[in-house]
Amino acid sequence: MDEALRLEEREEIGDRLACLACAPKSGDLIRRRFVPWFRVAVSNCAPVPAGTKPIYAAAQISVIDRIRTIEPRSPMTDQPYLRLRGIRKEFGTFAALSNIDLDIAKGEFVCFLGPSGCGKTTLLRIIAGLEVPTSGTITQAGSDITRRPPAERDYGIVFQSYALFPNLSVADNVAYGLVNRRVPKTQINERVRELVKLVGLPGSERKFPAQLSGGQQQRIALARALATSPGLLLLDEPLSALDALERVRLRQEIRALQQKLGVTTIMVTHDQEEALSLADRIVVMNHGVIEQIGSAMDIYREPASPFVADFVGKVNVLPGRLDGSKLDVGSFSLSPPQLSRHAAPAKDVKVYLRPEDVLARSVGGGGAGFPPDDPHVFDAVIEKIEFLGSFCHVHVNASAFAPHKLTVYLSLNFLTEQSLTVNSSLRLKLLPERLRIF
């Protein structure tokens, strides 16, 4: 920019731009094309000496026209939208978070996954400004927001408990943030209608929260969070209070809506199925630290630690002995391909085997599909069958792994076709390449 902006002008332009960004017709254009450029230019401007004529006097120059003249700076294209560095949070002598480093790209859907007490909600509250970190920095769209109050941060948030105002109608709940920003009433009404329709509840504007189901209330809470077109959407276990069917429906709607709007989203959950089905990347947390960051497939297939292998999905844990590239587990001496490049010293290990990574054939069928000399085949007897609908958890006893028992996944069709029940015999096959060793 050829002239620097004075501090009071920054505030004025920011307010005007926020109002424009809420307008249904121009909001997307401003949010996607101009706001990042505007923030970079303004944040890098120094105040001019007192007495300098303001360059944004009266209404002589259109804000949008001026923004169009600001060129984007190349470093912004290389930076993540949200960056956390060295985040630590202590409550007295207890460290809830320890040295959290995380980068989140613009438009990405990230899930914080972990057991209760792992620090995931504390981390979300720090990003929202509802908690102050003991140390570390948070950068959003190139600006340091570590010490900014919540009202000065660019995000919308949805809570587990909906947090709707019971005395306000659906329309007034959705419009709450826009009213506080003094957006013209006609624009507010249009934006409310647009959002209520977007979340699948057109015509409900005059209803009150008590007249809505839990799923409907959460949809309205989502609409309210999106009303101001935030750059960041925070979801604090938004589905945990809903019944199973409603959870599935709403999580599909949330994902479709996030992809349509392209808003950067962070969701806190302890539900593995939610995280695996929704997220572009999952951040697995435990005891205040990040155990692993990766896609759903990476987290599930390539766990980085025993905790991740055990926490995400179901797994059989067996004792083993590792010597070089040889693995002894049960009565098997295996050479898994993942060990071929690593000559490890002899040591005791734990072997993690997913239930779906064991293939099954009935003994009555002659073990069809398994060569008679296959070294990875073993016999087992069904001890218990847990019926879960289309598939079952089948617990088996196998002399090859005695005294340890295995759980395998078998389809209901397979069990029915082979007439398998408790005490039936099975022929099973290990897949050595699927074993994970820690």
Task: Give the start-to-end residue ranges of the domains of the chain.
Answer: 2-70, 82-301, 313-352, 353-437
If we measure between CA atoms, which residue out of 418, 422, 428, 359 comes closest to residue 386? 422
Burial class of 128 by CB neighbour count within 10 A (0 to 12, 13 to 18, 19+)? middle
Fold of 353-437: OB fold (Dihydrolipoamide Acetyltransferase, E2P) (2.40.50)
Dist. CA 187–CA 185, nearest whole Å: 5
- Predicted local confidence at residue 332, as pLDDT: 87
Q: Which residues contact 128 (CB under 8 A, 6 or more apart)?
A: 150, 153, 155, 157, 234
CA angle 50, 51, 56 (to 5 degrees): 100
In the chain, how long is the greatest CA-to-CA distance? Answer: 95
Main-chain phi, psi angles of 314, to 5 degrees? -100, 145
Residue 161: the pLDDT is 86
CA distance 200 to 196: 6
- pLDDT for 338: 66
Alpha helices in 69-205 (DSSP H): 74-78, 120-128, 170-180, 185-198
The answer to whether the CB of 350 falls within 8 A of the CB of 434 is: no
* Residue 14, φ and ψ in degrees, nearest 5: -60, -40
* Angle CA 231–234–237, to nearest 5: 160
Please report which helix (H) or strand (E) contains residue 380, including its range. strand 377-387
CATH number of 82-301: 3.40.50.300
3-state secondary structure of 13: helix
DSSP category for residue 208:
-
Give me the pLDDT at residue 261, please.
93
How would you write the pLDDT of the chain (438 residues) with one tens digit per residue?
A: 434 344 344 444 444 444 444 444 344 444 443 444 333 333 333 343 444 333 333 333 233 333 333 333 333 346 899 999 999 999 999 999 999 999 999 999 999 999 999 999 999 999 999 999 999 999 999 999 999 999 999 999 999 888 899 999 999 999 999 998 899 999 999 999 999 999 999 999 999 999 999 999 999 999 999 999 999 999 999 998 888 888 999 999 999 999 999 999 999 999 999 999 999 999 999 999 999 999 999 999 999 999 999 999 999 999 999 887 788 898 888 887 766 555 567 889 999 999 999 999 877 654 456 888 888 999 999 999 999 988 899 999 999 999 999 999 999 999 998 899 999 999 999 998 899 989
Q: What is the pLDDT of residue 33?
A: 39
Q: What is the pLDDT of residue 3?
A: 41
Residue 200's closest CA among 218, 184, 186, 187? 218
Instruction: Kindly report, residue by residue over 115-147, the tens digit of the pLDDT.
Output: 999 999 999 999 999 999 999 999 999 999 999
Give the Cα separation of 359 and 3 in Å (integer).
70
Measured at the alpha carbon of residue 402, what is the angle toward residues 397 and 405, in degrees to the nearest 5?
A: 45
Task: With CA atoms as reference, report the closest residue to 90 among 129, 130, 122, 125.
Answer: 122
Res 115: pLDDT: 94
The pLDDT score that the predictor gives to residue 371 is 82
Q: How far apart are the C-alpha atoms of 290 and 307, rounded to whole Å?
A: 11
Is 92:70 a contact under the CB 8 Å cutoff? no
Q: What angle do CA 75, 78, 81 make, to 5 degrees?
A: 100
Closest CA to 106 of 276, 258, 290: 258
Bridging pattern class, strands 377-387 and 425-430: antiparallel
Residues 266 and 124: their CA atoms lie apart, in Å, by 8
